Structure 1
């Protein structure tokens, strides 16, 4: 009896030691990576995508090995394993379906890291509706932080087969098209000049022209008439910024500044107007 208790106590102690050792090794491993390797990559402005993915894989392997070593210390698990053979068909089916999805996410994550359709800190748009900054790429999912500070969790297998718009892939420059309609009685040339002037003098605007454009004397800012609608002449000016964040601020400032300049110049921006008439239903004898 005492020998049995001693054996069980020794087994339990060994399991606890293995689990604590596994947690300690995993924490120390993560601390080492974050303290030295990540800092080194940031100092040299290198991509963190592969680092984060390898970190997740290594941490998962440490826990898997630790738990496996702990389970080996329990002989009774062999008996439990034999008893599970009776339901091997159902268990195999469930495990197969579960592992298929898990392996699909893992393989998709590996392909994302290898081919890099996007990286950590890239701004992407998926399904033409969800836009944000890539925060993390792990074994199962991609974490995207939107501009309201929400986290969008997308499985790797889903995002790898979806349409992705990557703002930072190759070139970070961003073009915003500012569309404004003016009245038919307004001076179109004057309105176009005002729009080009406001773009050119904005501090966030950059010159997008290449060497060939400069040789061909392409103007730094282009504005054109894009449509003749029922009640307005539609004008468009193209404004370039260094990145999407600057482009958004540039677009907002231009709308405000162009509206003010149009008001000062007497250029009309048409808006819907309705005339409401009330029929005279009162009896003349009641007047």
Structure 2
């Protein structure tokens, strides 16, 4: 019988690895078990589990039949309320548990169980096995609607039913007298990586059961979880050192090593715990749900890290400034895509764990509306940032003058606010909802050069040709004045006390305006003094006459 258990375990692995079995069997591979009535369902389950036990007791390396019989027996259950992540494991236990229960109780005569004719004459919604709570009910919705299956309530309580009858003897007319219980042999057995000889050498107390598992299984579970946590901690330390060592790199795909390793570790631990140590029952449900939950957390973490790697890699390119709105837009787009993928991931994870995610997100939508109303100013700033991105009235590094008189360099344009650094080295933060509704003068557009005007006057009688030549020389020789566009001198008017001139030149950028005016004014004054050119200033003579 030990070989039969090993055969059954291998058949389970075969069934999980190859969902579509039956290519070499004599059965029709697509034919489901007959579940058209409670009698058909009960008869199908007993028939296929009989065949399963019979096939498992034969020394044969072909496990196709065992897998098929097991799959047909599983088709007699309604697992709609079991999380999809646990169906593959709990369905096998449900088949073996229910068979063990039926082998220990008196079964009703099949003629007393409702069949197709009874269903046609009376509306049979559910049938309960006499003197038990085991129920076969009609499926009301889903892909198997109309079929009669062992109800989800029955599936949930099978462990409780089994505990109540496990001490009862087998009915001798149903099984071999030497039969010693297939279910407990199965749950206390190991996978192919653990040889039977090793388990046989264990002391008896290690083989005894405790809370549905053998003691050696508890020890193996503890060791695996501790080793897994230790490996995860070591990889985290390595990842942390790499982060400090390669912090200056623009692209850092190695940051994905930790979450990817966590995902692989969870999958590997799940395989070892489920298929090799063969943890079963509620303990398996808790461990698998926990590992799957951690797996999805690492998966979401990997998506976020990948988004950050892509985002920083793009922003680090020479064409994009970190403080520019382009960088903020890239951050926004990448983060929206990242959180969208995380949303899809956890939506599917919720369905995978059997959580009613539709109701949860419907409630979240109502909460989102309330939050949006409370954060309308923030939303106004956000859409103001979108408007700045679309219209591009200014960029980071531009010199702008606001309608209120503030002038300075745009240091950063974010999705919520714009920061302006004045010439007094004062940082002004302006909400985007405000800055999009005021008049803005951009002194850096369409060209980055800024025009400087210096007005002056020379005395009547001065050599105007000499004056114009001196002004041009001072402009051309000034390092802060650009050569193109070329400087110009204009004779503007005959003033009351001077010939009025204006020197027009261009500074390389708006922030050089003050220095250009300072250096040119100083140099012109010195040069005019050297050349004897007088720069008159308005004056008035007052003559007092003595009254007669």
After TM superposition, the score normalised by the length of structure 1 is 0.63
C-alpha contact (below 8 Å) 2:459/2:536 kept by paired residues: yes
Deviations 1:109-168 (A, max 9, x none): 112112211112222221162122222222321111122221111111211122112233
Q: CA deviation at 1:173?
A: 2.0
Q: CA deviation at 1:195?
A: 0.7
**Compared with structure 1, are the counterparts of its residues 274 and 228 closer, same or farther at alpha carbon in structure 2 (3 Å cutoff)?**
closer
C-alpha contact (below 8 Å) 1:134/1:145 kept by paired residues: yes
After TM superposition, the score normalised by the length of structure 2 is 0.35
Q: Specify which of 130, 133, 136 is matched with residue 412 of structure 2.
A: 136
Q: CA deviation at 1:175?
A: 1.7
Q: Does 1:232 align with 2:498?
A: yes
**Unaligned stretches of 5+ residues in structure 2:** 1-292, 347-359, 364-368
Q: Which has the higher strand share?
A: 1
Q: Specify which of 180, 183, 204 is matched with residue 459 of structure 2.
A: 183
Residue of structure 2 in register with 1:162 after alignment: 438
**Compared with structure 1, are the counterparts of its residues 59 and 276 closer, same or farther at alpha carbon in structure 2 (3 Å cutoff)?**
farther
C-alpha separation in 2, matches of 1:26 and 1:264: 70
Q: Does 1:46 align with 2:320?
A: yes
Q: CA deviation at 1:23?
A: 11
C-alpha separation in 2, matches of 1:150 and 1:166: 19
C-alpha separation in 1, matches of 2:374 and 2:456: 55
Q: CA deviation at 1:198?
A: 0.9
Residue of structure 2 in register with 1:244 after alignment: 510
**Compared with structure 1, are the counterparts of its residues 277 and 23 closer, same or farther at alpha carbon in structure 2 (3 Å cutoff)?**
farther
Alignment of structure 1 residues 10-49 onto 2, 5 Å? 33-34=311-312, 36-40=313-317, 42=318, 45-46=319-320, 48-49=324-325
Residue of structure 1 in register with 2:489 after alignment: 223
**Unaligned stretches of 5+ residues in structure 1:** 1-13, 70-77, 82-90, 210-219, 279-287
Q: Looking at both structures, which has the greater relative contact order when contacts are Cα pairs under 8 Å and sequence separation is at least 6?
A: 1
Deviations 1:189-244 (A, max 9, x none): 322221111112223333335xxxxxxxxxx4321221223222221011123322
C-alpha separation in 2, matches of 1:261 and 1:199: 12
C-alpha separation in 1, matches of 2:333 and 2:428: 21
Residue of structure 1 in register with 2:403 after alignment: 127
C-alpha contact (below 8 Å) 2:325/2:415 kept by paired residues: no
Residue of structure 2 in register with 1:208 after alignment: 484
C-alpha contact (below 8 Å) 1:177/1:239 kept by paired residues: yes
Q: CA deviation at 1:32?
A: 6.8
C-alpha separation in 1, matches of 2:442 and 2:448: 9
Deviations 1:61-109 (A, max 9, x none): 989x99xx9xxxxxxxx9xx9xxxxxxxxx97x974751x322211111
Q: Specify which of 339, 361, 380 is matched with residue 104 of structure 1.
A: 380
C-alpha contact (below 8 Å) 2:403/2:440 kept by paired residues: yes
Deviations 1:47-71 (A, max 9, x none): 54221244267669989x99xx9xx
C-alpha contact (below 8 Å) 2:400/2:441 kept by paired residues: yes
C-alpha contact (below 8 Å) 2:454/2:503 kept by paired residues: yes
C-alpha separation in 1, matches of 2:385 and 2:424: 26
Q: Counterpart of 1:184 in 2: which secondary structure?
A: coil
Largest Rg, 1 or 2: 2
C-alpha separation in 1, matches of 2:540 and 2:303: 74
Aligned-residue RMSD, C-alpha: 4.1
